[in-house]
Chain A
C-alpha cells in the first residue's frame, strides 16, 4: 500500500521533469558524433554542439523567429542506397499524383527538422536498437498479448550460428567491421500455433497470420504502442507458369485489391474500406489517401501499396502526417490483402523550425544544378520539369529528417516506344542555404 501511495506522490512531481523525460533522450551523444563527422572546423563543432544542446534542452519551446541564426547547420544527405535510381513510368505525370497535401500555393515560411533517432551503418544495418534478449522478450510479450502459444523462439542468427560464423571470420582474418556486420543479431522469431511473430532489432514488428488466426488482425489496436509494425497474411499461394502468386486475406464480395491494373478509383474504394476495418486505432481526424501507382515497362499499371494518413489540422501537421505517420495496405495479385503496415516515425528529437525557400526559388537552384539525385544522368533542362512537391526524405541514410523539394523531371533519353515516359526524381533542399553545411552541386556523377 505504501508503494502505491508513493507512486501517487511521484505522479505529482514538477512538470519540468515530466516534459524533460518525454522530449529528451541519450541521443544527445549520438547527435554530437554525427555533427563531428560533418563539420571539419573545431570551432564550428563547438558552436554547433552548444547550440545543439541548447535546442535539445528546450525542445518544446517554439523557435524564436528572430533567433534563426542559432539553428545548427544541416548536412544534406547525398546517399540513395544501391538499388537503381528513383524514376517513375507513366504516360502523363498527372498519373503520379500521390496525395501529398502540399501545394505550391501556400504561406509556409518554416518547416520543422528532426534528428533521425535510428543509427545505421553504411549498408543500412541498425547500429542501435534492441538487444537479442529484448527482442525475444518483446516476442513473448506479443504472443501473450494476442493469446498465441509459442512453439519455438529463436534469434537470427542463433547464438550457435554466431559462434560458427565468428570462428570462420577469425580464421579468415576478417576485419572487426566484417565481424560486427556478420554476427549482429537482427531478429527474434517466435513460431506460434497458426502465426509467427518477428521482432527486428530496429523495433519493427511483423505478425504473420494464417487462415486460423486471421481474425486477430481486427485486434490491430493492441499494436498501437509500437511505432512500426506489419501484419502479414499467409494464405498460401498458387503457381502458374512457374510464377508464385500469393492469395492474401480474402476480401468481401465487391472488393478486389490487385497488384496490377487497379484503377485510381478502385484503389481509393478498397483503401477506404480497409481503413474503416483496421484504421480506428490511429484516431485520424480526416483521412487522406496516398494512391500512387506507376507502370511497368510493358504498360501494366502497378499499385504496390496504398496508404492513409491524417489530413486534418494545419498544413504543416498534414505534411508531417503524410511523410511520417501512415497506415499502408499491400495487395496480392489475386485480389486479396497481402499486408497492413503502420509507420509512425519518432519525431521526439526536434532540432528546430527552419526557414525554407519557395518552390520557385528551388526551381532556380535546380537549374543551377544544386540538387541531389540517384538519376544516372544530368538534369535535362527546364522544359522537362514536370512536377514539384515538398517532401521529407526518411531513409536510413538520412541522419536528419529535413524537407526537400522533389522535382519529377521527364528524362527524354528514357522515353519508351509504347509512349511511356520516365520521370526521374531530383531533390533540392528546402531549408535555406545559410542553414546547410554546404549546398550540393551536381558533379557529373552520382552525388
Chain B
C-alpha cells in the first residue's frame, strides 16, 4: 500500500491506517528507537507512542513524506524517553557517545551577543549538508539522525570503523567551521 493510501486511511479515521503503517514502517521506526534506547521493549513502546501521535496529527496534517514524518516522530519520542531513562540512570550509552561527538560541532561561544533561532540553525545545517559529498552526508545523517552505531555504518557503507570515525570527525570539524562562518551561536 502506498503512502497516499495510508494517509487517506488516517483521514477516513480507519483503524487499518495503524496496521498498514506498522506493516510499512514498523521495522524502520523500531530500528531508530532501538538505536537510541538500546532496548527492544522500550523501542516497541516508542513505536506505539509514535503511532498514537501520527493518529492524532493526521488529520489535520497530510505529510509530504510519510516515512520521514514517522521517523522524525519516533526519533523525538525516543530521545525524550532516553532523557527520562538517563535521569533514572538507565538506558544505553550510544546516545551519550553521540552527544560527546557532537561537542566537536558546536561553534565557539566567544562574543555571543544573541542566540540564533533554531529555525535558522537548521537552515544552516541543511545548507552545510548540501555542500558535502553524498557518502559523507549519508554517514553523518546515519550517525546523528538515525543514531546508528559506528559498526553498523561501517557495514552499511563497506568501510572500516576507523574510516567512518575519521570521516565523521572531519565532517564535524567542517560543520563547526561552517556554522562559525555563518555567525551561528547556540
A46, chain B: closest CB distance, angstroms? 20
B145 contact from A10, A27, A128, A222, Cβ within 8 A: A10
Closest to B65 in A: A15
1/0 per residue A99-143: CB within 8 Å of B? 000000000000000000000000000001111011001100000
Total interface residues in chain A, CB < 8 Å = 52
B15, chain A: closest CB distance, angstroms? 12
B91 adjacent to chain A (CB < 8 Å): no
Q: Which residues of A contact B121 (CB under 8 A)?
A: 9
Q: Is the CB of A313 within 8 A of B122?
A: no
Q: Is the CB of B138 within 8 A of A224?
A: no
Q: Which residues of A contact B72 (CB under 8 A)?
A: 11-12, 18
B31 adjacent to chain A (CB < 8 Å): yes
A245 adjacent to chain B (CB < 8 Å): no
A317–B137 CA distance with the chains assembled, in angstroms: 31
A17 adjacent to chain B (CB < 8 Å): yes
Q: Which residues of A contact B58 (CB under 8 A)?
A: none
B40 contact from A7, A13, A29, A224, Cβ within 8 A: A224
Q: Is the CB of B23 within 8 A of A17?
A: no
A225–B102 CA distance with the chains assembled, in angstroms: 25
Q: Is the CB of A26 within 8 A of B135?
A: yes
A266–B153 CA distance with the chains assembled, in angstroms: 43
A22–B75 CA distance with the chains assembled, in angstroms: 14
Q: Is the CB of A30 within 8 A of B151?
A: no
| Residues of chain B from 27 to 73 with CB closer than 8 A to chain A in the complex | 27-28, 30-31, 34-35, 38-41, 43-44, 64-65, 67-68, 71-72
A283 adjacent to chain B (CB < 8 Å): yes
A353, chain B: closest CB distance, angstroms? 12
A5 adjacent to chain B (CB < 8 Å): yes
Closest to B148 in A: A21
Query: Could you tell me the dominant secondary structure of chain B's interface residues?
Result: helix
B186 contact from A5, A281, A312, A317, Cβ within 8 A: A5
Assess A60 versus B67: contact at CB under 8 Å? Given A11-B75, A11-B79, A13-B126.
yes
A382, chain B: closest CB distance, angstroms? 39
Assess A3 versus B102: contact at CB under 8 Å? Given A18-B68, A18-B71, A224-B40.
yes
A221 adjacent to chain B (CB < 8 Å): yes
B170, chain A: closest CB distance, angstroms? 17
Q: Which residues of B contact A7 (CB under 8 A)?
A: 79, 95, 98-99, 102, 144
B129, chain A: closest CB distance, angstroms? 5
Q: Is the CB of B106 within 8 A of A131?
A: no
Q: Which residues of B contact A22 (CB under 8 A)?
A: 28, 67, 71, 146
A314–B2 CA distance with the chains assembled, in angstroms: 10
A221, chain B: closest CB distance, angstroms? 4
Q: Which residues of B contact A4 (CB under 8 A)?
A: 83, 99
A344–B41 CA distance with the chains assembled, in angstroms: 20
| Residues of chain B from 75 to 131 with CB closer than 8 A to chain A in the complex | 75-76, 79, 83, 95, 98-100, 102-103, 105-106, 118, 121-122, 125-126, 129
A231, chain B: closest CB distance, angstroms? 14
Q: Which residues of A contact B151 (CB under 8 A)?
A: 130, 134, 137-138
Q: Is the CB of A20 within 8 A of B67?
A: no
Closest to B128 in A: A13
A37 adjacent to chain B (CB < 8 Å): no
Known: A30-B158, A134-B161, A221-B40. 15 other contacts (CB 8 A): A2-B106, A4-B99, A7-B144, A8-B118, A13-B141, A19-B65, A20-B141, A22-B146, A25-B158, A130-B155, A137-B151, A145-B38, A203-B155, A225-B34, A281-B40
Q: Which residues of A contact B (CB under 8 A)?
A: 2-15, 17-22, 24-27, 29-30, 60, 62, 128-131, 133-134, 137-138, 145, 203, 221-225, 281, 283, 285, 310, 312-314, 317, 344
Interchain residue pairs A-B with the least CB separation, the first 10: A21-B141, A15-B68, A3-B99, A26-B157, A3-B102, A21-B138, A221-B40, A15-B65, A12-B122, A18-B68
